[in-house]
Structures are given as C-alpha cells and as structure tokens.
Structure 1
C-alpha cells in the first residue's frame, strides 16, 4: 500500500492529463495513471519514466469510459488495491464527434465520457475518498459550460444533435456535479471544478484556433490536485483564480435533479462495489 498521498488521474495518456501526471509524479505523491487501453497506458507509462518520473510513483489503471462496466471495474480494482484515495482528478474527456454516436450503454458518447463515467467513478469511490483526510475531487470542466444547458428530456440528443451543444452540456453537468458533491455526498470532503484555459490539445480545433501550451493547463490542474494545496470547497476555478460558475451550475433544484437522473442513467445501485 502506498504511504505517500495517492492521486487517481483519469485520461493520463496525452494532453493536459499526461503533463499533469508528470508534474504530480515529480512531487511527493503516487499517481494512478489511467488509460483507455492497456497499450495506451503502457506507452504513457514508458514516456513518463523516460521523462524522469520514478516508476515507483506510478501505478497503471485501464478503463474505457465509453463502457460503464469498465468504469465500475476500475473502481473495484482501485478499492481492492488501496485503503484510501486522497485525490480523484476527473480529467478524461472527449471533444465529441461530428455525428451522434451512442455507447454500448445507450448514451450519447460525449455525455457519457465527459460526465456519466466520472459521475459513476466518483460515486463508487466515495468510501475510499472519504477514508482520506484530504478526500478531494477535481473536475476538469470548461468555460464553455456557461453556454450549455441540460437537455432534460433528451440528454443523449436523439433530436437535433450538435457537437458543440453536446460538449457544453457535458461540461455543465460536470460543473453541476461539483456543487452536488458538496451538498449531497458527505464522504467527499472537498470538490472543485476548473477551466484550465484554452489549451493547445487535440480538442482545440473543435472550438478555437489558438491555445496556450499544454504545460500551462497542466500546472493549473496539478496545483488543485496537490493534496497539500488549499482549495475553496465547491468553487469553480478559471485557471488559477476562483470564478463564478454559470447560475445553472449551482441552482439547487437543478443540481439535485441531475444527481437523481445520473443515478438512474448509470444504474448506480446495481454497480456499487461490494464490501470485501
């Protein structure tokens, strides 16, 4: 069992996730490096080691967020391997596709990967997070959440699918989830969401033309993920600074409604990790 603080960082194989993993591994932490596939995970692990990361500070984890069963299996594996989880960073995400794609679970791909999967993972790991004196969740959101709306009657966009609208909805939902954790999940001690900036990652071409270096976005996320750093519980950060989230992201009735909808869509009660 790791004695050092333990951080699970989803989406660690490229972009902001990879650079964040590299920064965190250079500190006094053990980083669970999550990948979509074993091949991507092995490649990222080797790149991190080649960059100077201590392999003893890195632990691999694999789950395709387009499959909620794999998300539940990941939570179970983490629960079997570790007595606590100090920080969970929900970073894995997709910019979406030009046409509507459904996962095997029957959800629109962007909504599942960017929101339902991190929702399920966080809920299933809540006991482990609560076992840590830090017990923090960091949700990597976007300023685009402010232009989003939850399509309550059609969250998977059976009608009038639009990639930008689907992405904004997913990031709004993730930001609302941050507010929900502070109100409805007492096992999580701290929860924040963050817009790391307009960064030159693979998703940039979908929404902008120019972005800042990946290292700048990673520094923002790594600071919030540092177990020793102080954060404002429930806060939305725009880069390094606290900022106001969209009004819809903190509206109590809507936040509670999304919490209940997410429980149903992820079939949470059927996937809970059974105690050993």
Structure 2
C-alpha cells in the first residue's frame, strides 16, 4: 500500500489479534502513527513486537496502549492518556469486540458483557476523545460492525437482557447499537461489516470465513482521507449499502445516546 497516511495518527481498538491486528499493520505500512490498543499492556506490547518482527513497518510509528473494556474506568483512563499524549487524532477505529457468552455475563459496571465491550466502551471512548479527534477533512471514526445488526433490536427497557438472554440476540444488539452510533452527528463516522473472517467471533456465524487480512483491507480503506464519507454510512465490505431500517433516524440516535449516557455514567 502507498504511504497515503504519512503524518496521520490512527487509534485501533482490539488491535492485538484478528482484524484489528491486521488493520493496524496495514495502517502502519501506509505511514500512519498507530495507537495499538490491547486488553492489557503486555498484550499490546507483544502485538507491537510481532509487527516489528514480521511486517514492513517503522517501529517508531507503533504506540501500544491498553484498557480492559469490561471496566469502564480503564476506558476513561485510556482516553485521558491519549488526549494528554496525542493532541491530534485523525482516525479512531472502534474494532474491539467479544462474542456474547453462552450464559449471561455482567461486568463490574453492571452491564451485559458484549453490550459493554462492543458498544458502551466505544461510546465512552469516542466521546472522551472528541476534543482531539480532528475536524479537518478526512478525519473520521470507523466502527467495525456486522451484518448481524440487521436481525437485531435494542431492548430499550432491558438492554442488559436480564429477563430474556440469548447470546446471538445480545451480540446482534451490540452491533446494531454500534451502527446507530456511527450516525451520531457530533463526529464524522461510518460503520463497516468487514465480512465473516476467521477470528474468535467466527463461530457465531456458523460458516467459514475469509482471512483477517482480507477483512482488515475493508477497514483500512475507510481510513483513507481521500475517500469521502457520508456521516452514518454503512459499508458491506467495500460496498456502501443501506443499514438496518431506522438505524440512522434522529429519534433512534437520541434514544441510544440517552441510554448509553445512563449506562456509562457520562453525559456527552
């Protein structure tokens, strides 16, 4: 890939494995300074070391950072460190995700695990990083979503699924929320389904997938400042398509913001 991202700074969450790791590699190879997020400092540093050893990247462009998204206080500390150390962030790739467990699991913060890790943590992180997210042309947020958002509904009165839990419904709800969040007018953002890939999430889809590198190419493409985006646009790999019905409606966006603010204890 050409060095079209030279001089730009990009943060990728969930960048130690799978699509996130390959996205970080592609962006660094394209000249970007990459803030490579992992669940722990050890995992982030190991991913950086692996990239330096195996990819054509400049070690100076890789910056490990860490936060366990199952703990919102760690997300807040991560955001504070990024704001302090990087006053200009061109792109934020919200990629970190977990499969909803077979049995309902609640975080320390009281939220269903996949809803918090896949959506609420990214909601909080994005809002806290807003002061440094550039408003220059080409600046954007890229939410890595899934086609499963189309089969989802947000349980507005019971988002943590206390009364009726299904791992597929919980996971799909988190992906719908992330897709709706991309249409928030406060930042320029898009969402993308990179396709089913051979990652830890693949068993949810029930069939074989592409390589993580193939999926990452669709994510990295959306980080190119030369690619003009429309806020809230949804991409199925490299093709722009309509998202789920109602996902870009102002009423739904406002309702999701209100719910998220309540659950993360942060007023945007």
- TM-score grouping bracket, smaller chain normalisation: over 0.9
Q: Does 1:232 align with 2:230?
A: yes
Partner of 2:59: 55
Show the 5 A alignment for 1:1-276.
Answer: 4-52=7-55, 53-130=57-134, 132-180=136-184, 182=185, 185=186, 188=187, 190-269=188-267
- 8 Å CA contact retained: 1:5, 1:227: no
Structure holding more helix per residue: 1
Structure 1 residue 259: deviation in Å? 0.8
Question: What's the secondary structure of 2:209's corresponding residue?
Answer: coil
Question: What's the secondary structure of 2:110's corresponding residue?
Answer: coil
- 8 Å CA contact retained: 1:6, 1:85: yes
- 8 Å CA contact retained: 2:38, 2:67: yes
Structure 1 residue 221: deviation in Å? 0.4
Structure 1 residue 121: deviation in Å? 0.3
Instruction: Give the whole-Å Cα distance in 2 for the aligned partners of 1:36 and 1:227.
Output: 28
Could you say what the CA RMSD is over the residues aligned between the two structures, in angstroms? Answer: 1.4
Instruction: Give the whole-Å Cα distance in 1 for the aligned partners of 2:225 and 2:84.
Output: 22
Instruction: Give the whole-Å Cα distance in 2 for the aligned partners of 1:132 and 1:6.
Output: 13
Q: Write out per-residue CA displacement over residues 120-178 of structure 1, whole angstroms, 9 at most, x where no aligned residue.
A: 00011111114544330000000000000000111001112110000000000000101
Instruction: Report the TM-score, using the length of structure 1 for normalisation.
Output: 0.92
Q: Write out per-residue CA displacement over residues 25-67 of structure 1, whole angstroms, 9 at most, x where no aligned residue.
A: 0012100000000121121111110113211010111000000
Instruction: Give the whole-Å Cα distance in 2 for the aligned partners of 1:75 and 1:90.
Output: 13
Instruction: Report the TM-score, using the length of structure 2 for normalisation.
Output: 0.94
Distance 1:133-1:127 versus aligned 2 partners, 3 A rule = farther
Instruction: Give the whole-Å Cα distance in 1 for the aligned partners of 2:76 and 2:137.
Output: 24
What runs of 5+ residues in structure 1 fail to find an aligned partner? none
Distance 1:70-1:132 versus aligned 2 partners, 3 A rule = farther
What runs of 5+ residues in structure 2 fail to find an aligned partner? 1-5
